[in-house]
Structure formats: C-alpha cells, structure tokens
C-alpha cells in the first residue's frame, strides 16, 4: 500500500480543515515547500496537493505552489481543486503535476470530463469520490448530490479510470479513524479498482487495517501534522 501525504493549500499556506469546513481552518506551515521537502527527505515519493481556494472558487488558484514543489523536489504529485476547464488541466500538467485530481467536473459535466480522458489519457487522472452518506459531494464538499457512490465508480471504470480516492467527508480531519467498512464494500464490488483511502486516519493501526482490506494507497494529512503518526512510521509502511 502506498502512503500519500497530503498538503492542503489556502492563500499559499499549508492548512487543514475539519469535515471540509472552511470555517474550521488551521494553518500548519506558511511554506508548503518546507513540508514537501520533509516528506521527500524521509523517503516518501508521492504527494497529494489540494488547492482549497480553487475548490471553493471553481478555478485553479495555487498553481504556483505546485510549480515550486514540482521544481524543487522529485515527488510524484497529484494536484486538484478547481479543475473545471481543459485549460486548467493544461495549467496543472504544465506546472509539474503527474496526475490531475478531479471530482466535481465528473458529476457536473460528464461529457467534458470524458473528453479530457480521451485527450490526455485516463491514466493521467486521479478521480475523487468524496462522499456524505454514500452520496457524492462536490464543490469542495460544500454540496451533496443525489449520485450514489457505487454508480459513480462503475460509470468511470467504464471510461477507463483505474485510480480513485474516496473520502468520507464526515471523517475528514477528525482523527476518529477511516471508513474501513465503506472501503471494504468498494473493493468487494470493484476488485479491479486501485482504491486510495482518504479521511480519518489517526494511527498506524488505521493504516495497517486499510492495508489488510486491500486498499492500494492511503492519503494521510492531519495525523501527520498533529504528530499522531511519525514520518519514519509512514516510510516503514510505504510500499
């Protein structure tokens, strides 16, 4: 299972939200590059970079942060938040991201997203399935839709998507443990999928449990910044 540390960006700073609530923001570092270099220094090779300003406004905002981290580290970066147009996809790739992370567009404009898959290749996209009570949430988790999670996944597997990360919004940033049963259900329904768990990870045991049920990766954020899981432990569990 691959360990993927997360950096969430607001106003160019490394922050974390609780349950996707922009009113519950905590700044951890004003210089995201410093954080990224710490991950790289211990031997981690992936980074999940989220432009929360972009997610809220519907246009990529913090691409300079991406450009800086991509230019000054060798991390394999997936970048998301506010990717709504093909020009945004190009900005993200031109700024150094290996993968474009998308979610809302796959709900709001399926035809446009499928066009991107054909243009850039499905392997270049990490599809986010953010959920509230098994229904997809969009726009930086601010809007809950009527789209059932499993229908969403099945549709995009049909379009060639292999990598999906799933975040239970009710768990995110609360350090109460991940939605292990939810992930187990997804893996049972779609064994061909490379599922990345996200949200709620609070301990090494959580990571071990996610590995045990067959998650291909896990995104870890607040547990790192709050000192619940040491970087060396992450490296030990990374594969």
SS3 at position 62: coil
Contacts of 59 (CB under 8 A, 6+ apart): 82, 84, 88
d(CA 40, CA 75): 7
CB within 8 Å of 134: residues ≥ 6 apart: 148, 149, 150, 182
Look-up of token digits 């506010």: 82
Helix (H, G, I), strand (E, B) or coil at 102: strand
DSSP 121-171: -GGGEEEEEEEETTEEEETTTTEEEEEEHHHHHHHHHTTT--EEEEEETTT
Helices 63-72/32-42 angle, 10° precision = 30
The tokens of 68 are what? 């800086």
8 annotated active-site: yes
Choose, from 78, 130, 172, 206, the residue flagged as catalytic: 130
Strand 99-102 relative to strand 135-138, pairing = unpaired
Task: Answer whether 20's CB lies under 8 Å from 167's CB.
Answer: no
Catalytic residues: 8, 130
């Amino acid at each position: 299972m691959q360990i993927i540390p997360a950096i969430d960006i607001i106003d160019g700073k490394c922050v974390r939200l609780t349950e996707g609530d922009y009113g519950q923001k905590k700044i951890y570092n004003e210089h995201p590059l410093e954080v990224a270099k710490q991950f790289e220094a211990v031997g981690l090779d992936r980074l999940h970079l989220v432009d929360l300003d972009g997610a809220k406004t519907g246009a990529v905002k913090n691409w300079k942060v991406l450009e800086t981290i991509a230019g000054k580290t060798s991390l394999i970066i997936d970048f998301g938040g506010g990717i709504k147009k093909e020009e945004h996809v190009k900005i993200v790739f031109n700024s150094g991201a290996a993968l474009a992370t998308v979610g809302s567009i796959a709900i709001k404009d399926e035809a446009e997203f499928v066009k991107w898959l054909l243009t850039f290749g499905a392997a270049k996209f990490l599809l986010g399935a953010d959920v509230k009570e098994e229904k997809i949430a969009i726009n930086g988790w601010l809007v809950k839709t009527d789209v059932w999670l499993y229908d969403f996944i099945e549709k995009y597997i049909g379009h060639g998507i292999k990598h999906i990360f799933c975040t239970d919004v009710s768990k995110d940033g609360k350090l109460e443990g991940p939605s292990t049963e939810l992930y187990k259900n997804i893996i049972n329904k779609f064994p061909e999928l490379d599922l990345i768990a996200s949200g709620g990870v609070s301990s090494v045991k959580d990571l071990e449990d996610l590995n045990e049920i067959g998650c291909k990766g896990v995104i870890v954020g607040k547990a790192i910044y709050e000192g619940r899981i040491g970087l060396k432990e992450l490296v030990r569990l990374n594969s």
